[in-house]
Amino acid sequence: MAYALVELTIEFRLWYLYHDCLADSYHSANRLLPPQIFTLDFNTLNNESRLAQALHPFFCALQINTATDNYRRLIHDLSQGGLRMSQWAFNQGFYSNVLPLISQIDASIVEHSSNYWFYSDEYAMIPATESSINLMLNKVRVEAEDCCICLEELKVESDAAQMPCAHVFHADCIKEWLYTSHYCPICRFEMPTY
């Protein structure tokens, strides 16, 4: 194969659907992201696990779970489509140092809100007090795991923040979360609000 690099352009369109389960109504919002360009060597395109690793930060930033069969199928389709296109170009006699590939991805994300706490004043999401955030978050060293707020990896031996319920997050992520909601995003442990 004559291509040294592959320039993969991903055009991503997201449709968000918010489903109010109690009222059984939908609200939608569309989001067109600017095209993202990835420059990959041909061996990365040919190896699905390398390709998945290269695209992982982009999809994590969109809060898309990369540990699903759908994500693996997407990576497979990108890899196979790129290989077919490059083989076709090679067979046609087109030679270049860079093979341009464009992938258009349309996705729908449905968020359901049927939990009792969304509709009850007793369980309203209100900020935790700054003093409780400063007092109750512990600085800890982490082992390999992901922050469930930003979905990015907590690097081994890096500093992170631990809630009193023992759940660990990036310090900035959990502080920003607690300025909006006094609940732990995993187990709903309640931080003080007064």
CATH number of the structural domain spanning residue 173: 3.30.40.10
Residues 10 and 47 reside in one and the same domain: yes
The model's pTM is 0.48
> Quick one: pLDDT at residue 3?
58
Q: Is residue 173 part of a domain?
A: yes
Burial of 84 (0-12, 13-18, 19+ CB in 10 A): exposed
> Quick one: pLDDT at residue 76?
92
Q: Is residue 32 part of a domain?
A: yes
Percent of the chain with pLDDT over 90: 2
Residues 75 and 164 reside in one and the same domain: no
Residues 89 and 134 reside in one and the same domain: no
pLDDT band at 66 (very low <50, low <70, confident <90, very high): confident
Beta-strand relationship, 153-154 and 98-113: unpaired
Residues 10 and 105 reside in one and the same domain: yes
Q: Is residue 95 part of a domain?
A: yes
Residues 14 and 105 reside in one and the same domain: yes
Instruction: Specify the DSSP class assigned to residue 155.
Output: -
Residues 59 and 88 reside in one and the same domain: yes
Q: For residues 94 and 96, what is the distance between their CA atoms, to the nearest angstrom? A: 7
Residues 84 and 153 reside in one and the same domain: no
Percent of the chain with pLDDT over 70: 78
Residues 88 and 43 reside in one and the same domain: yes
Number of folded domains in the chain?
2
Full domain range(s) for residue 68: 5-113
Last residue of one domain, picked from the residues 113, 142, 160: 113
Which residues neighbour 189 within 8 Å (Cβ) at sequence distance 6 or greater?
163, 164, 165, 167, 183
Residues 54 and 137 reside in one and the same domain: no
Residues 15 and 73 reside in one and the same domain: yes
> Quick one: pLDDT at residue 104?
81
Residues in the chain: 194
